[in-house]
């Protein structure tokens, strides 16, 4: 059974850091792209970052570039999202999800995005709250 379990969320002051973990089971995580999404109350779910199989192509939302870093530990079958210099607008429930392919599908338009519809397995989410 495919499962993704997030952990590492919490309450932090602005400027602080958190590291989210996404532990995968039932499949080899490095065979797929893994994405991180977030959803704030009253807002649509947005793609934050994605790491492809073998780190071939990765993605970051413009607003988190330079602050967030996505990585894998294949021995632990786990994907991480290191979040530094957190801002109140980063407050949301964060979800990890498995892409349907090995590579991050990035839509090119006015802004670059990844879409939830390209992901078919999701974790339960972990709350991140950043106080001002």
- State the first-to-last Cα distance of the chain, in angstroms, to the nearest integer: 40
Contact 42, 17 (CB under 8 A): no
Closest CA to 36 of 85, 99, 112: 99
Which run of H or of E encompasses 126? strand 126-131
pLDDT in tens for each of the 132 residues of the chain?
Answer: 999 999 999 999 999 999 999 999 999 999 999 999 999 999 999 999 999 998 888 999 999 999 999 999 999 999 999 999 999 999 999 999 999 999 999 998 878 899 999 999 999 999 999 999
Q: Which pLDDT score, from 0 to 100, does residue 38 have?
A: 98
**Angstrom distance (rounded) from CA 49 to CA 36:** 5
- pLDDT computed for residue 109 by the predictor: 81
Among residues 33, 80, 22, the alpha carbon closest in space to that of 59 is found at 33
pLDDT score at 58: 93
């Amino acid at each position: 059974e495919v499962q993704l379990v997030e952990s590492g969320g919490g309450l932090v002051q602005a400027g602080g850091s958190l590291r989210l973990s996404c532990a995968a089971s039932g499949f080899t995580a490095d065979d797929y792209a893994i994405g991180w999404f977030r959803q704030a109350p009253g807002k649509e779910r947005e793609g934050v970052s994605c790491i492809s199989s073998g780190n071939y192509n990765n993605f970051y939302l413009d607003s988190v570039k330079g602050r967030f870093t996505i990585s894998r530990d294949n021995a632990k079958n786990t994907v991480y999202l290191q979040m530094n210099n957190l801002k109140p607008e980063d407050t949301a429930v964060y979800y990890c999800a498995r892409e349907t392919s090995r590579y991050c599908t990035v839509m090119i338009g006015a802004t670059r995005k990844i879409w939830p519809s390209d992901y078919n397995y999701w974790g339960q989410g972990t709350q991140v709250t950043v106080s001002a």
